[in-house]
Structure 1
Amino acid sequence: MRRPACTLVALALLAGPAAANDDPISKVERTNPRHMPPLPPGGYDLPLSPPVVQFPLPPQWVTIRSKEDWRKAGRIEKKLSDACAARRFRQQMPMRFRAVFKTDVLGVAFGHGLNLVDEDKLADKKMIYLFRNGDSTGCVVVAMDNQDVNALRAAGAEVNPAGARR
């Protein structure tokens, strides 16, 4: 008589918590305590993945293309390179304008302010600045002459419509 009573008590204890939770999510067992439970019957209201949307890439223009080494493009400016490493002379958008050389691709900024952040006012308006490793403390800045007609006119140089100096 005592044995059937113990069996009934054990069954009541086992069935009690399961009968109290009729939630389908709590009935799903996990294979490992760290695993997430599978989707409940009927699923969630949320989509399984976000919709695929095309995001436009930022505009990037190759402004200089050369088969030579980048070191021959101009002179390396030590003062500007130090300011670049301190993030006080840098590109506004890294690699927006590019210079493609034989071995490297360098970022380009213009001395008149296009794509250039110059907190110490170190830039010359007639120069083009090439940035190698422009987003690091090992930044190297190469300065080269700008043959842009508008920059030459603003500096007071005489320029004919074809772009040659008189």
Structure 2
Amino acid sequence: MKHSRRLSTLAILRATTLFALTPIFAQSAPTILHAAEAAKILPDAVFFRGQSATIQGRNSAGIHFANDMFVLTALVDNSGYSSGIQQKYQAYFITEVPLDFSGKTLKPGAYGVGIVKDHFIVMDIAAHDLFTAPVTHDAVLKRPTPLQLDADGDHYRLYFGRDYVSFAQAK
């Protein structure tokens, strides 16, 4: 009887251990969130450079990582900003994970972003430029939209029309 109790206890311990470790082994690949999914998570308005700007939920996207962290972005109504800020501040970008943009690390936080000429500009919420990254023009993209996010292997492409910036989760 003692032997069967020990076996039962060992079986329970093994099952408990495997159950506790299941989330580690069961993590799936990151998932791209399209506009309808991203808009449910994003706020209706965001703070940037002393003002509140409404987001365009129909022009939003995101990534849901296996560890339940997110990257979210949406075009914004920047009409209340000065023309200098309007030119650069086209979208709001939130990340819960560090990201790598052509060797430049973006820490978790909320940022203003946009594409000007051939550069992707990242600004802190006070509208100070943090860095730029190169932009690529995708002439073969079949149906460009104002904003979209696509997976490209272990990288992602954030499109503004046919122009995109490539980034990856920082290691």
- Normalising TM by the smaller chain, what interval? under 0.3
TM-score, length basis structure 1:
0.19
TM-score, length basis structure 2:
0.19
Q: Which has the larger radius of gyration?
A: 1
